Structure 1
Amino acid sequence: MSEYSKVTPEIVEQIKAVVAPNRVYTGADINEDFSHDEMSIYGKAMPELVVDAASTEEIAATMKIAYDNNIPVTARGAGTGLVGACVPIAGGIVINTTKMNKILEYDLNNFVVKVQCGVLLNDLAEDCVSKGLMYPPDPGEKFATLGGNVSTNAGGMRACKYGATRDYVRAMEVVLPTGEVTRFGSTVSKTSSGYSLLNLMIGSEGTLGIITELTLKIIPAPKEVISLVIPFETLEDCIGTVPQFKKNGLDPQALEFMEKAIVQASERYIGKSVYPQKIDGVEAGAYLLVTFDGKTKDELDNIIEEASEIALEADAIDVLVADTPAKIKDAWAARSSFLEAIKAETNWKDGLEMLDECDVVVPLDKIAPYVEYVYGVGEKFGLRIESFGHAGDGNLHIYIIGDDKISVADFKAKADEFFDDIYAEATRVGGLVSGEHAIGSGKLDYLAKSVGPTQMKLMEDIKRVFDPKMILNPGKVCYKL
């Protein structure tokens, strides 16, 4: 980090000259929130200066000053990430993009919408619904920015049917580390026009350029939607049922699994009981939450009948139908609150949450044995584990939680050993380190072990082509400071 320059009073004045002075912060005026993301276990670092950017031009001008003076820059959206990707570990400048929050225009001839990078996922989703449209990506954190979603290639619940964020990005405006502004992609639906720089930017976590504007694919909203809550006696039976839906030609919009403990924590958090604990004297140990959409109610009725038969033949205790907007909302509200529920019941020590997580992705037929393996490793290390996941696409969320008897150092040491083991197993069964939360600084070592030195060097070399001074979000994804 010593190779980087510091933000001097002269540089502060230069930046104030290209950005309104009341949107440039230094010293004690910088909010502590800019030092961390949602997973504080990956550390905190205060920037020297924060810019509340209001336009692409302001970001470009700030970036050029930083490039000319060799000052590190970290772009930040809502700060909802879980891998330390927006933590300014090298100090320098943080560019806050949340004020760039306008939905610019809909193009219904080409079924795209143009937005600024700071638009919240929830705001676009609701605006689309009001127009009879749907933006399919549905990550659990609804108040993340779309720029952040694209920068991590966020997935979410509907990826099972509709795909991840990458599948809905048509074009983007980007500020490069030099301050140059360029556009990648187009409103067209396919291309074979050279290297896909658009797809290289998606998931690059702000290390190659700063996304300022997005053109996103949208679709007509489905006419009918219905959800099923399916309780099972055991987690093994629950997860083992998942491949049967696809094998039988069903195409769920979302297919989630969750164990009993996390459901109970979520219901405590939202103050409402949604999922049945016991049915006809049989206690539920895990649940599937399945959503189907279609054009007509008759179409969905046939799907529900077939899905129910599959579940009951796989030893489901029952199949409960959420067939009204209120019931569907309640079922998904509990599911969407899982992380908040876990955090609400997590101990803090030395200003850090005793909480860590991974979002490995494994082949569908490996979900059940992999989850069983994970619980075995957790038991070996004496760790409390909470798990849930996008069973329809193999993306699993596994949280480990420290108790008040363990120090932060001991918790981190146990977490490192635990993750070393389960990431290696994920790789062995054909999986990958992250399905949607990305790498940041928190998962960099695990990625390196998973993909090996050749791929890590290729990624670092790409980074150096885009960012020869290595000033943009340094120490993330592919190399350490």
Structure 2
Amino acid sequence: MSEFRELTPELIGQLTAIVGEDNCLVGDAIGEDYARDEMPLYGMRTPDAVCLPASTDEVAAIMKLCNDNCIPVTVRGAGTGLVGGCVAREGGIVLCTMRMDKILEYDERNFTVRVQPGVRLCDLAEDATSHGFMYPPDPGEKTASVGGNVSTNAGGMRAVKYGATRDYVLAMTVVLPSGEVLELGPAVTKTSSGYSLLHLMIGSEGTLGVICELTLKLIPDPQADTSFILPFADIETAISSVPSIKLAGLNPQSIEFMERDIVDSSADFTGKHVFPTVVQGQEAGAYILVTLDGNDEDEIFQRAEILAGVADEAGAYDVLVVDTPSEKEAVWAARSAFLTVIESEADLCDEMDVVVPVDSIAEFLGFVHDLGEENGVRIRSFGHAGDGNLHIYCVGNDVDRDDFVSRTEKIMDAAYAKCAELGGQVSGEHGIGYAKKRYLRESAGDLAIGLMDGIKRVFDPKGILNPGKVCR
């Protein structure tokens, strides 16, 4: 990796000439948001400049200038990441793609859409629905950019049925660190044509190239969907129902789990008490939220009868139907608010989004909660029960930051070791960024990390693109 150089006034002038005076921010014009992502515990640093290009040509010109002068470049979308991935730890510039926010073209005969990377997930989902399509990836943070989703291979709540973001990327335009423009993956449904550079770029977290355009696969929008709340006595009983639900032939769109305390906090935060706390005279301690979709309501309710039988046998207190538009909106608004609720209630927060085998979820959650008690740290958890992706947060209030970091580090060390023991992975969808590099190395091993680093060197010989992240 080359030694980085200072961003001089002359270079700032050249950047300004590329993107325009209003779109090259320096000094006091750089807002605090550009210094951090949604998890400030993982680092904050204000970049020397922020560039907001509006086209692939402008991105290419920025990258060529920075590569020629060894200026580090950190790519940023909406900044909703949780692992410090968009923090400019080495200074230099932040290249923010949020001005590149156009939905360019639908190909309705081939079920695809072309978009720029700054399109927000919520806007694409709504627009696709208006055209009769569904864009299936459904991460919890709906205001995230699609380019960011691709960069971390985000999964979300519908991944159990429809897969992760990777499964919907057919082609992309990428600017390499050198400033060269690379077209990857012709928009066909399958190919066996050499190494898949497209899939190498997906999930690379902005370390190999800058995504400037995407061709994404769509599916016909399901004609009907219904959600079902399954209240249980405790999280162990709730999680134990998941394999049976998956084996029942229901093909659920999503299977979410949540513990009672986060449900109560969400209700207080949103003012909507949509999850019942007492069912059949019994106190609910945890919930499974299942969504079924299909061609019509009759088809769904035939499967719902099977779900009711499975739930009863697994110990659910009831199966509560969520089928009106207002009920659906309230339930999923409550679910989507979980992270916001946790952040609003905590002065300090650390997180993991490990993925473990589905039949190990309860064991892992119990292990982490025990770690929290041993170290005096509160644990909050929820996640995607259908695919074993768990969102677990260590939170603290009125505590010394250094003490909190010391305690959570002990929890994280033990938790990631347990995850590896169970055959799990460090991240299911949030990525590695800066925060989880050590755990990736311990999990993947030196050989795999060496190969990743070799790939990085091929794409980015000077190491200017998002330095200090993932494998370096």
Q: Does 1:376 align with 2:377?
A: no
Q: Does 1:62 align with 2:62?
A: yes
Q: How does 1:30-429 map to 2 (within 5 A)?
A: 30-347=30-347, 354-404=348-398, 406-429=399-422
Distance in 2 between residues matched to 1:47 and 1:41, nearest whole Å: 17
2:468 is matched with: 475
> What is the RMSD computed on CA atoms of the aligned residues?
1.0
Distance in 2 between residues matched to 1:224 and 1:19, nearest whole Å: 45
TM-score (norm 1): 0.97
Contact residue 110 and residue 187 of structure 1 kept, 8 A: no
2:427 is matched with: 434
Distance in 1 between residues matched to 2:249 and 2:279, nearest whole Å: 29
Contact residue 2 and residue 462 of structure 2 kept, 8 A: no
Distance in 2 between residues matched to 1:247 and 1:13, nearest whole Å: 61
Identical columns (%):
57
1:403 Cα deviation after fit: 2.5
Distance in 2 between residues matched to 1:335 and 1:162, nearest whole Å: 19
1:14 is matched with: 14
**Shift >3 Å, 4+ stretches:** none
Distance in 1 between residues matched to 2:245 and 2:49, nearest whole Å: 51
Moved more, 294-303 or 354-363: 294-303
Contact residue 2 and residue 463 of structure 2 kept, 8 A: no
Amino acid at match of 1:384: R
Moved more, 367-376 or 144-153: 367-376
Moved more, 16-25 or 441-450: 16-25
Distance in 1 between residues matched to 2:420 and 2:256, nearest whole Å: 22
1:169 Cα deviation after fit: 0.2
Amino acid at match of 1:458: L
1:143 Cα deviation after fit: 0.3
Q: Does 1:445 align with 2:434?
A: no
Query: CA offsets per residue over residues 112-156 of structure 1, 9 Å max, x none?
Result: 000001000000000011111100000000000000000000000
1:281 Cα deviation after fit: 2.0
1:458 Cα deviation after fit: 0.8
Amino acid at match of 2:360: K
1:164 Cα deviation after fit: 0.3
Q: Which runs of 5+ in 2 are unaligned?
A: none
Q: Which runs of 5+ in 1 are unaligned?
A: 348-353
1:280 Cα deviation after fit: 2.7
1:24 is matched with: 24
Contact residue 23 and residue 51 of structure 1 kept, 8 A: yes
Amino acid at match of 1:439: I
Distance in 1 between residues matched to 2:444 and 2:364, nearest whole Å: 19
Distance in 2 between residues matched to 1:106 and 1:476, nearest whole Å: 34
SS at match of 1:95: strand
Contact residue 2 and residue 70 of structure 2 kept, 8 A: no
Query: CA offsets per residue over residues 19-38 of structure 1, 9 Å max, x none?
Result: 21221111111111100000
Amino acid at match of 2:334: A
Contact residue 77 and residue 96 of structure 1 kept, 8 A: yes
Amino acid at match of 2:300: L
Contact residue 243 and residue 359 of structure 2 kept, 8 A: yes
1:350 is matched with: none
Distance in 1 between residues matched to 2:232 and 2:350, nearest whole Å: 27
Distance in 1 between residues matched to 2:43 and 2:75, nearest whole Å: 17
1:324 Cα deviation after fit: 1.2
